[in-house]
């Protein structure tokens, strides 16, 4: 009898485990409102032109680059007593009803602090946005997201190309984004938004 009960329990556990593995993955949200109603934490999504794109965990090189940039940006703000905040991903930035992005890093000056009012996400254009290109997101960073950043008033857009050890800094002008400066393998890049901020390429990719 006891052996029979153990067999039944084992069978029920196995059946329950099989049922779990048969369950489909959580369906992506169909709207920004549905996404915002999800509990905090992974999975993370971007809404790009109305389409929910799940964000895969970044590779170590990607995180290393963002960590370096975050360090030097924050250090510059502190050393020069600049009022503003740097936010590394994941942080939601709302631009339009169909465009809700998670840039790799953003800087918001105190002059634009109204876009931080709800303390949950950013509603409006940060002063500066950084995107580290990857095979899964690079297309969007160079096309639709770039167009939205330009249209909505992001003042400066940094594009980091890990495979090329290259950084391109774009400035938003009356004619849209133009290349402010760039460097590949050696040299330095500078910011116009953070006047006086210059960073050697080696410090980004070290």
Per-residue pLDDT tens digits for 84-118: 999 998 888 999 888 889 899 999 999 999 999 77
Torsion of CA 154, 172, 188, 183, to 10 degrees: 110
Structural tokens at position 74: 């924050």
pTM: 0.80
Contact 165, 205 (CB under 8 A): yes
56-205, which class in CATH? Answer: alpha beta
Helix (H) or strand (E) holding 199: strand 198-200
Contact 99, 48 (CB under 8 A): yes
Domain ranges of the chain: 56-205
Per-residue pLDDT tens digits for 112-158: 999 997 778 899 999 999 999 988 788 889 999 999 999 999 999 99
């Amino acid at each position: 009898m006891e052996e029979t009960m153990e067999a039944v329990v084992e069978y029920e556990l196995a059946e329950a485990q099989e049922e779990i593995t048969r369950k489909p993955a959580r369906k992506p949200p169909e709207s920004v409102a549905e996404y915002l109603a999800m509990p905090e934490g992974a999975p993370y999504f971007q809404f790009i032109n109305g389409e929910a794109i799940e964000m895969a965990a970044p590779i170590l090189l990607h995180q290393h680059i963002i960590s370096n940039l975050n360090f030097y940006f924050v250090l510059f703000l502190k050393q020069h007593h600049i009022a503003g905040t740097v936010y590394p991903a994941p942080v939601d930035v709302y631009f339009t009803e169909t465009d809700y992005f998670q840039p790799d890093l953003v800087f918001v000056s105190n002059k634009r602090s109204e876009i931080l009012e709800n303390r949950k996400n950013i509603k409006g254009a940060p002063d500066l946005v950084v995107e580290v290109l990857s095979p899964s997101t690079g297309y969007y960073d160079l096309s639709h997201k770039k167009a939205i950043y330009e249209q909505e008033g992001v003042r400066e857009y940094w594009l980091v190309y890990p495979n090329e050890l290259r950084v391109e800094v774009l400035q938003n002008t009356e004619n849209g984004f133009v290349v402010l400066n760039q460097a590949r393998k050696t040299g330095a890049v500078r910011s116009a938004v953070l006047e006086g901020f210059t960073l050697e390429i080696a410090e980004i990719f070290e």
